[in-house]
Amino acid sequence: NAGVTQTPKFQVLKTGQSMTLQCAQDMNHEYMSWYRQDPGMGLRLIHYSVGAGITDQGEVPNGYNVSRSTTEDFPLRLLSAAPSQTSVYFCASSYWGGAFFGQGTRLTVV
Amino acid sequence: QQQVKQSPQSLIVQKGGISIINCAYENTAFDYFPWYQQFPGKGPALLIAIRPDVSEKKEGRFTISFNKSAKQFSLHIMDSQPGDSATYFCAASISGATSGSRLTFGEGTQLTVNP
């Protein structure tokens, strides 16, 4: 039982490049979310999903896309990376009792 | 708009002391208030959570105090240990069936417990 698995752990991108951050959970939770963590700002919600085929925007959605084709997977796509997207990204899987977070992806955009 | 404000930003406590971290929220629709603990290089881990129908919840050395009228809640760590040194985040959400799926976080508190 791995919980929430994120890949890659580290990534360096050039401005304008695109990439997909992967997230998978094995707890059969309906709800999954993506957050970004920046110093002094806590974690901010990017996008979330309440089930396969259903996604919605969070607080900071611009520049990111998501889709949810299965209960297990919730990838986050950066369409055209910008230096402002340098951050640590966390995926979470949740149920009524709380959220479980992955180990994070540290992304640097140069 | 920061809907959940957390203080202090950093806290240094001696071993055996009490660590207190405070949070205030604005949205009165929030009804689920978790605290997360994060070690360097790791994801946040749920520590303890409270709903507004109680004023206090205790789990081991960790206690949440909740003041609904003041829209404030706090984390107390009793008998603080060096292993408690981490970043602590308060959070809030509107639960229903989705507690934890749309969390609003505070800014975080870096706790250092000196031996």
For residue B61, give the DSSP letter: T
Q: What is the pLDDT of residues B13-41, one digit of tens each?
A: 999 999 999 999 999 989 899 999 999 99
Alpha-carbon torsion (B40, A32, B5, B68), positive or negative: negative
Label residue B99 by pLDDT band (50, 70, 90): low
Beta-carbon neighbour count of residue A53 at 10 Å?
10
The answer to whether A1 faces chain B, any CB pair under 8 Å, is no
The answer to whether A100 faces chain B, any CB pair under 8 Å, is yes
d(CA A85, CA A87): 6
The answer to whether B6 faces chain A, any CB pair under 8 Å, is yes
Write phi, then psi, for B42 (nearest 5 degrees): -120, 165
Chain A, residues 53-72, CB within 8 A of chain B, namely 58-59
Q: What is the pLDDT of residues A7-66, one digit of tens each?
A: 999 999 999 999 999 999 999 999 999 999 998 889 999 999 999 999 999 999 999 999
